[in-house]
Amino acid sequence: MVSPYIYIIIASLVINVVGTAPMLLSETSRRYSWIPPLVSILILLAAPNVYLIPFIAFTVTIGLLGIVTLMRVDSSIRGVDYMLIGIMIIAIVLALYTSNLALALLSLVLISAPTYLLIMIGEPRVSLEVGIKYVVNMIIATVLFFVGALIIASTATLPTYILGFSLLILGLSLEVGAAPMHEWVPDVFTAGNPVPVSIIASIAKIAPFIVALKVILTTMGSIPPYYLAYIAGAVATISMFVGNIGALTAKEDARVLAYSSIANMGYVMSALAAAVMGYAMGSSTTLGLALVGLLLQLFMNAVGKIGFFNSVFSRGNNAVSTWLISLAFIGTPPLLGFWSKLYIILALVYGNLTWLAVILVVNSVISVPYYVRLARSLGTGFKGGLAEGMVLAVTLIILATVVPPSWFIDPVMRLIGYLTLYL
């Protein structure tokens, strides 16, 4: 039986695509082409379960920030770009909600494909070079992810499951830009237009982790969890060190943010390792903590990167906001980034991965100098305008957890029922 909420997701997609089409017929109507995507993502808030609402609300908020961000660019695909953001938000919601493997993998395609066009926005020659490099890497990532998912979804023996799991993790790492599959990230983030890059660095990171987590937890069965957790933990460790050390030595702000993204994907990969251990141990507490940390870190990365890249695009922004974003990325309490890292660390400790928790803490300390440097470089003073409003909105989101975020944490810990698929 098809769930009623699937019909809402389908309706959202129809409104987004069909509603946008007439807006593209004239230059005058293109001014209002943001309306159908906006409506399409807002109706996703009609969630069937109260536990889904905080996740969807955060996702919709990131989508709104993405749409407003694209308004700053003189895009050759005006209208289509807003529609692509709508598709990506729908894909994130579908990734968490669906219990169907085919739809879960479809959500991965829906989150990746729009970025192929968005990365082309900007100076034609540079955008083409960056776009080709990005698209080739994403195609390889999708193939690796799909092959790995299909192998572990079959009745695999331990050796073939480890092979499939390794391919899936490599595909995931390439998709989100985690080391050692990060080679495309510094070049694309530095050469690309900061506005579409902010979308790739934020919205595009969420669904791949959700889909990977669901596929792994559904299929691991009696596979010894330490095999899987150590593979994911090794990737997390490499990504954290490569990202943070690379950011320390990088000179350009955009390149620092590129390596910062690599490090952040390492933190999220740590949460995935903890989730594997929690599920295998039958500990809903460990699994719940890992899920909270994973989602909060993805949201922190998303809003923080949108704020920073908007500041790069406008060559600076107000100092208060840029400092608060930097402090949140470092993990200063009680900002959003503190809670995400806290819950990942707790999940790692409860999941008998204390060594990985220590590595995470060490890397958070390593990150302090370059986030301070970013705050000084981009905090050039109040300017006013759309960019200022965007960064202020990001700052408010980061400050939302000044009130202890039980309003978000408790519902997310009850999303465990959505983490498996029916094969």
What does the alpha-carbon distance between residue 178 and residue 176 come to, in Å, rounded to a whole number?
A: 6
For 311-324, write each residue's pLDDT tens digit: 898 888 888 999 99
Residue 128: count other Cβ atoms within 10 Å of its Cβ.
13
What does the alpha-carbon distance between residue 96 and residue 299 come to, in Å, rounded to a whole number?
A: 14
Residues in the chain: 423
When pLDDT is averaged across residues 89-99 and rounded to a whole number, the result is 95
What does the alpha-carbon distance between residue 385 and residue 395 come to, in Å, rounded to a whole number?
A: 16
pTM (two decimals): 0.94
- Percentage of the chain modeled with pLDDT above 70: 97
pLDDT exceeds 60 at position 45: yes
For 242-269, write each residue's pLDDT tens digit: 999 999 999 999 999 999 999 999 999 9
pLDDT of residue 315: 85
Domain coordinates of the chain in residue numbers?
4-418
Q: Which residue has the higher pLDDT, 171 or 51?
A: 171
Closest CA to 205 of 74, 304, 333, 75: 304
Q: In angstroms, what CA-CA distances link 391 with 196, 309, 370, 396?
A: 16, 10, 19, 9
Tell me the DSSP string of 178-190: -TTS-THHHHHHH
pLDDT of residue 4: 86
What does the alpha-carbon distance between residue 162 and residue 156 come to, in Å, rounded to a whole number?
A: 9
pLDDT of residue 282: 92
What does the alpha-carbon distance between residue 165 and residue 152 come to, in Å, rounded to a whole number?
A: 7
User: If pLDDT is split at 50, 70 and 90, which confidence band does 227 have?
Assistant: very high
Q: Rounded mean pLDDT of the chain?
A: 91
| 186 CB-near residues (< 8 Å, 6+ apart) | 246, 250, 255, 258, 259
pLDDT exceeds 70 at position 70: yes
pLDDT of residue 247: 97
pLDDT exceeds 80 at position 124: no
When pLDDT is averaged across residues 209-233 and rounded to a whole number, the result is 94
When pLDDT is averaged across residues 365-371 and rounded to a whole number, the result is 97
* Terminal-residue alpha carbon distance, the chain: 15
User: If pLDDT is split at 50, 70 and 90, which confidence band does 2 have?
Assistant: low
pLDDT of residue 296: 94
User: If pLDDT is split at 50, 70 and 90, which confidence band does 123 have?
Assistant: low
pLDDT exceeds 60 at position 126: no
What does the alpha-carbon distance between residue 334 and residue 33 come to, in Å, rounded to a whole number?
A: 38
Tell me the DSSP string of 254-307: HHHHHHHHHHHHHHHHHHHHHHHHHHHHT-HHHHHHHHHHHHHHHHHHHHHHHH
pLDDT of residue 50: 85
Radius of gyration of the chain (CA): 20
| 285 CB-near residues (< 8 Å, 6+ apart) | 278, 350
pLDDT of residue 73: 83
pLDDT of residue 1: 46
- Lookup: tokens for 115: 């970025």
- Percentage of the chain modeled with pLDDT above 90: 68
What H or E segment, with its residue span, contains residue 40? helix 35-42
Closest CA to 118 of 88, 84, 142, 91: 84
pLDDT of residue 61: 93
pLDDT exceeds 90 at position 402: no
In three-state secondary structure terms, 148 is helix
What does the alpha-carbon distance between residue 240 and residue 265 come to, in Å, rounded to a whole number?
A: 8
Which backbone phi and psi does 66 adopt, to 5 degrees? Answer: -65, -45
Closest CA to 264 of 400, 173, 148: 173
What does the alpha-carbon distance between residue 418 and residue 416 come to, in Å, rounded to a whole number?
A: 5
- Lookup: tokens for 365: 């300390």
When pLDDT is averaged across residues 148-154 and rounded to a whole number, the result is 92
For 265-288, write each residue's pLDDT tens digit: 999 999 999 999 999 999 999 999
pLDDT exceeds 60 at position 346: yes
When pLDDT is averaged across residues 29-37 and rounded to a whole number, the result is 92
pLDDT of residue 304: 93
For 187-208, write each residue's pLDDT tens digit: 889 888 888 889 999 999 999 9
